[in-house]
Amino acid sequence: MLDPAKLTSKGGSYRFATSGAVTDRILLEIASQYETGVSRRMTALKPDDLSKRFVGDEPVLETTKYDGEGVLVYYEQNKEPFAFNAPSGRVRLGFPALQTLAVALQTKGVRKGLFRAELYLPGAKGGKRNSIADVIRVSFNGTEAEVAALRLALLDVIMLDGKDLRPNLEDFKANWALLEKYFGTDPNRPFHRAEGTIVPEREVKAVFDRKIGAGAEGLVIRRLNRLELFKVKPHLTVDAAVVGYVEGEFEGQIGVTSILTALLYPEKRNQTQFFQTFARVGSGLTDQQRVEFLRTCSALRIDPPIVMTDSDGRTVNFVKPQHVVELEGDDLLAAAGQEREHRTQLFGWDAGQFNFVGLTPCPRLTFPIFSQLRSDKDVGSGGARLEQIVPDPRLPQINPPDPQAPAIVRREVFTKAEAVRKLVVARKSGENTVPYVVYWTDFSSKRKDPLKVDTAFAFTESRAMALAERFIAENVTKGFVKLGGPNPAPEAGGKPPTEPGAAKAKPKKAKPA
């Protein structure tokens, strides 16, 4: 069921695989279908919605929302149990919580089972609750003591001794009782049923306030007689400076489709202020606000320090940092996955112009939403402070990368009469550099400007290749011949291949992702 070649020992009996370790395709399919079905029925609510939506006497199940990572747990007698993710096939096994869970199931006579759980770390560090970022860090490179602290909160029974219990999602009381029977309710044990109770729905708001006051991340609410779930957690609010915008069409009008925001460091260097890009947000804007923001932002446009685009390839226009907006979000995440810190652009603001300094770590606001324009605040008086999300922020020291010759990953040339079009994909190395650069040159001696050069940038090779294919599909038209190989086959309808974020950019400028 597992590919041992994918597993890496992390100390003691604990082993870990980043992906692709589950070889049982049926198990992965069942788990993936379950995850998809449940996630589609999960609705995010704001705390203010509770007193409006839950007002009657219908019994509902409220459970603590754990700030961890959702996993599936597979158990079978006489085999080592493992926790995995679907469909990625990420696997963890050999950690104490999983081992003691297996002993308990064997004692109770369970032969085989598939369960949904939350892998989490109890307690707090530095006055802040442990989060999913801590679970990821410990999973990849935690000490033996940290791995031993991992716990499993059991949320559902999917399969048990050959019985498919997914139909119980429509009548969850049976599964709730099974979770208590097999895993108990003591939250201090390494594994346990998720903390929760069945209450009249009108009491949900009071339960939420009580749990949040005790330090919980949030609440999950489940209807017992139908598959309907809600998650609710306090929304974070952050005031951020507007430093850019994307213009586009919506509902037959032209306006701002998204706003690029940034936060200000308290420290200055040689009268230069430093802004850390924070979030690009489009959700929450009304149609009227989109039109009004376009008028406001257009009057403040400045030359871009780098070429940036949104996920649809539309250019980010930079503006003077004069306006502050309030954003709402679910949480702040420091890691982008696999322990790689989430990084954003650092800009210096001096003499009415932004200058690109480099990419530096910055927490990411999950599910950002535009709340309001803060006309009562301005950047100069501290209206967009980085201290809102980072205690005692220190301006990072950016060291220029060592000059290294790029490696050519891909090179293709296309000709048609006197016209020559060439693709080059190069890979660079070094700290604070975007590793992949895609160059597209278009030469025609009969044009007024014979040479045109476009450049695009990517953090991964797969994205770089998608950008390369897009250049080819858009520019290698009928009659062009590829030197040294067959001509590329155009897509049906002549449309270029697409990938989220694929876009062309201006030449000779660096575009961080």
Q: Is the pLDDT of residue 509 over 50?
A: no
Q: Is the pLDDT of residue 512 over 80?
A: no
Average pLDDT, the chain: 87
Q: How far is CA 432 from the centre of its chain?
A: 20
Q: Is the pLDDT of residue 484 over 80?
A: no
Task: Please report the pLDDT score of residue 340 as a whole number.
Answer: 56
Q: How far is CA 231 from CA 45, 488, 489, in A?
A: 6, 48, 47
Query: Are the beta carbons of 318 and 304 closer than 8 angstroms?
Result: yes
- DSSP E strand boundaries for 288-338: 316-318, 324-329, 332-333
Q: Is the pLDDT of residue 339 over 50?
A: no
What pLDDT, in 10s, does the model give residues 83-108? 999 999 999 999 999 999 999 999 99
Rounded distance between C-alpha atoms, residue 259 and residue 361, angstroms:
20
State the DSSP H helix or E strand holding residue 455, giving kind and residue range, or none if neither. strand 451-458
What pLDDT, in 10s, does the model give residues 151-190? 999 999 999 999 999 887 778 999 999 999 999 999 999 9
Sign of the torsion formed by the C-alpha atoms of 178, 182, 186 and 188: negative
- DSSP E strand boundaries for 251-314: 253-264, 273-281
Rounded distance between C-alpha atoms, residue 397 and residue 502, angstroms:
31
Task: Please report the pLDDT score of residue 452 as a whole number.
Answer: 86
pTM for the whole thing?
0.59
What pLDDT, in 10s, does the model give residues 341-354? 688 999 999 989 99
Task: Please report the pLDDT score of residue 502 as a whole number.
Answer: 38
Q: How far is CA 66 from CA 69, 97, 98, 142, 231, in A?
A: 8, 16, 17, 20, 11
Task: Please report the pLDDT score of residue 446 as a whole number.
Answer: 84
- Of 351, 352, 333, the C-alpha closest to 343 is 333
What pLDDT, in 10s, does the model give residues 296-316? 999 999 999 987 888 777 889
Range 209-219 average pLDDT? 89
Query: Are the beta carbons of 438 and 453 closer than 8 angstroms?
Result: no
Angle in degrees, 0-180, between the axes of helices 96-107 and 173-183, rounded to the nearest 10: 100
Report the half-sphere exposure of 236 (CA within 13 A, side-chain side): 17
Looking at per-residue pLDDT, the higher value among 333 and 72 belongs to: 72
Query: Are the beta carbons of 292 and 325 closer than 8 angstroms?
Result: no
Using pLDDT thresholds of 50, 70 and 90, give the confidence band for residue 400: low
Residue 210, helix vs strand vs coil: helix
| Residue labelled with tokens 């044009």 | 447
Q: Is the pLDDT of residue 395 over 80?
A: yes
Rounded distance between C-alpha atoms, residue 73 and residue 85, angstroms:
9
Rounded distance between C-alpha atoms, residue 164 and residue 476, angstroms:
53
- Non-local (6+) Cβ contacts of 107 within 8 A are none
Range 207-220 average pLDDT? 90
- DSSP E strand boundaries for 3-105: 8-9, 15-17, 42-45, 59-65, 69-76, 82-84, 91-93
**What is the Cα gyration radius of the chain?**
27
Residue 242, helix vs strand vs coil: strand
Task: Please report the pLDDT score of residue 366 as a whole number.
Answer: 83
Rounded distance between C-alpha atoms, residue 263 and residue 232, angstroms:
27
Q: How far is CA 90 from CA 64, 73, 479, in A?
A: 25, 12, 47
Task: Please report the pLDDT score of residue 492 as a whole number.
Answer: 43
DSSP count for the chain of H helices, then E strands: 9, 31
